[in-house]
Amino acid sequence: MSPRSLTPGYCLDKTHGLAYVRLSGRKHYLGPHGSDQSRQKYRELIAQWIKSGEVPLPAAISAGPPGADDAADMTIDELLARWWKHNRLRYGATGETDGKRPAGELGLFVDVFREMRRLFGGPEHKAISFGPKALKTLARHLASDRQYQSDGAIIVRRGLSRKVVNGQISKVKAVFRWAVEEELLPGEVFHRLEAVRGLARGEARDSEPTEAVSDAHVEAVLPFLSRHVSAMVQVQRLTGMRSSELVSMRHERIDRTGAGGKLWIYQLGIEHKTGHRGIVRQIELGPKAQAILKEFPKRTLDPDEYVFSPARAEEERREKMELARKTRADRGNSRGSNRLACPRRQPGKHYTAASYRRAIQRACDQAGIERWHPHQLRHSLATEIRRRFGADAAQVCLGHTSLDVTQLYAKADQELSARVMLEIG
């Protein structure tokens, strides 16, 4: 079965008989469905959307290319598609991404693949000819600011920081290293790319260091957040887990028997940022975090039920509105009838790191304070742990384990993390 196309579809609004296309979450009506006028407008909008920089994930990534046994004929597109087919499971993808950018390390590969296809896509660009000059061109492209036109306005998108660009370039090298390992390309192709050094200071902007967010600013946004997002903010502040780890928290992953029931353990296994390196991650949940999580009990027999769910948050919001309604139940609209008559995008089973961040930023605007982002909560906890327990405790609790830490110290590290979280988490 061929994968679904990742290009936004030409759709039918059955209520009005109109064609539409959804771009970046916004619905654009095109005219009567099936008409030449609507199809022409569809093509124009897609072309403008791609030109504006909101290009969809490349469809070629979703399937292996036909043929390409001859290294001399393999294109960049085909190489990226082959890498994706054979390596996505290693980075935690359980299936096709269905047009969505994956989270974590795999999403960073998708980002650089998209830019490679912009510059070097098409049959004329062969993988065997991709050399140091092409790689440096890609690096400069990633670091440069770009201008786009949207609804008559000029939008400037900042280039990536030097650290991010160098990380993306290392991922390109990893793709060619894999191709050499699989004997898809000769070894000299990868060795040429190895000669390319990362961008030096001054060749691209350096990102500002992340600062801790004050507890006062955290407390200021809580009244403007939903019950679920408010709890997520508090749990992240207490545990220092990454946003991706927080939004993917499932009930079945929480062991409530640690330390005689006094300490809960959130087991991530290898499904986290550094999981592809074989590092197992677990997060200790102290009494304060436990008290918050008890407000979100398991409601179904689904083993994949998430602790925090936008679908459940929407359901709770509607229940609250139903209780507060003044019109009699047998008068006016029944619960949810407007939504059924005019369906919109349904809330998902779990939050994403992006939707979680946007909710906090909207709350900051409503609270009238400077915007902060969830990653600053990790820095807040790291600052507190470092002050009270030392740098080693902060490194262990936040999962900053380096590859050369031996298993000999793993038990001691876990005991230190447990002792910290029992006191402050």
CB 19 within 8 A of CB 33: yes
* Cα–Cα distance, 204 to 139 (Å, whole number): 9
Residue 28, H or E segment: strand 26-32
User: Could you tell me if residue 40 is inside a domain?
Assistant: yes
Please state the domain count of the chain.
3
Judge if 286 and 394 occupy the same domain. Answer: yes
Question: What pLDDT is stored for residue 76 in this prediction?
Answer: 93
Three-class DSSP category at 70: coil
CATH number at residue 308: 1.10.443.10
CA 298 to chain centre: 25
Q: DSSP secondary structure string, 176-223?
A: HHHHHHTTSS-HHHHHHHHTPPPPPTTSSPPPPPPPPPPHHHHHHHGG
Judge if 32 and 176 occupy the same domain. Answer: no
Residue 256: how many CA atoms within 13 Å on its side-chain side?
10
Give the DSSP letter of residue 25. Answer: T
Q: Which of 194, 227, 259 is the last residue of a domain?
A: 194
Question: What pLDDT is stored for residue 409 in this prediction?
Answer: 32
User: Could you tell me if residue 39 is inside a domain?
Assistant: yes
Q: Position 271: which residue type?
A: E
User: Could you tell me if residue 306 is inside a domain?
Assistant: yes
Q: DSSP secondary structure string, 302-318?
A: -TT-BSS-HHHHHHHHH
Judge if 177 and 239 occupy the same domain. Answer: no
Judge if 21 and 72 occupy the same domain. Answer: no
User: Could you tell me if residue 341 is inside a domain?
Assistant: no
User: Could you tell me if residue 208 is inside a domain?
Assistant: no
Judge if 366 and 235 occupy the same domain. Answer: yes
Judge if 398 and 307 occupy the same domain. Answer: yes
* Cα–Cα distance, 149 to 48 (Å, whole number): 9
Whose structure tokens read 């008068």? Answer: 331
Token pair belonging to 57? 């994930």
Question: What pLDDT is stored for residue 138 in this prediction?
Answer: 94
Question: What pLDDT is stored for residue 96 in this prediction?
Answer: 53
* Cα–Cα distance, 179 to 84 (Å, whole number): 12
Cβ neighbours for 378, distance < 8 A, ≥ 6 positions apart: 236, 240, 241, 242, 398
Nearest by Cα to 252 from 236, 237, 271, 238: 271
User: Could you tell me if residue 205 is inside a domain?
Assistant: no
Judge if 259 and 281 occupy the same domain. Answer: yes
Token pair belonging to 263? 């300490």
Q: Edge-to-edge strands of the sheet including 11-13?
A: 11-13, 18-23, 26-32
Judge if 179 and 273 occupy the same domain. Answer: no
* Cα–Cα distance, 324 to 220 (Å, whole number): 26
Residue 227, H or E segment: helix 227-239
The CA–CA distances, whole Å, from 169 to 207, 362, 414 equal: 17, 34, 34
* Cα–Cα distance, 342 to 320 (Å, whole number): 21
Question: What pLDDT is stored for residue 127 in this prediction?
Answer: 92
Token pair belonging to 84? 């994706």
Per-residue pLDDT of the chain (425 residues; tens, 9 = 90+): 333 344 678 888 877 788 888 876 677 888 888 898 888 888 888 777 766 655 544 444 444 444 445 677 889 999 999 998 888 777 766 555 555 677 778 888 888 998 999 899 888 899 999 999 999 999 999 999 877 666 677 777 888 899 999 999 999 999 999 999 999 999 999 999 999 999 998 888 888 777 888 999 999 999 999 999 999 999 999 988 888 889 989 999 898 887 677 889 888 765 555 555 556 678 889 899 999 999 999 888 888 899 999 988 888 888 888 887 777 666 655 555 555 444 456 788 889 888 999 999 999 999 999 999 998 998 888 888 878 877 777 676 666 554 343 233 334 455 566 666 777 76
Judge if 94 and 41 occupy the same domain. Answer: no
Judge if 161 and 244 occupy the same domain. Answer: no
User: Could you tell me if residue 364 is inside a domain?
Assistant: yes
Determine the structural domain holding residue 258 and report its residue range: 215-329+346-424
Judge if 140 and 74 occupy the same domain. Answer: yes
Question: What pLDDT is stored for residue 4 in this prediction?
Answer: 37
CB 254 within 8 A of CB 264: yes
Judge if 144 and 243 occupy the same domain. Answer: no
Is the Cα dihedral 108, 109, 114, 117 positive or negative?
Answer: positive
Q: Which of 134, 159, 194 is the last residue of a domain?
A: 194
User: Could you tell me if residue 334 is inside a domain?
Assistant: no
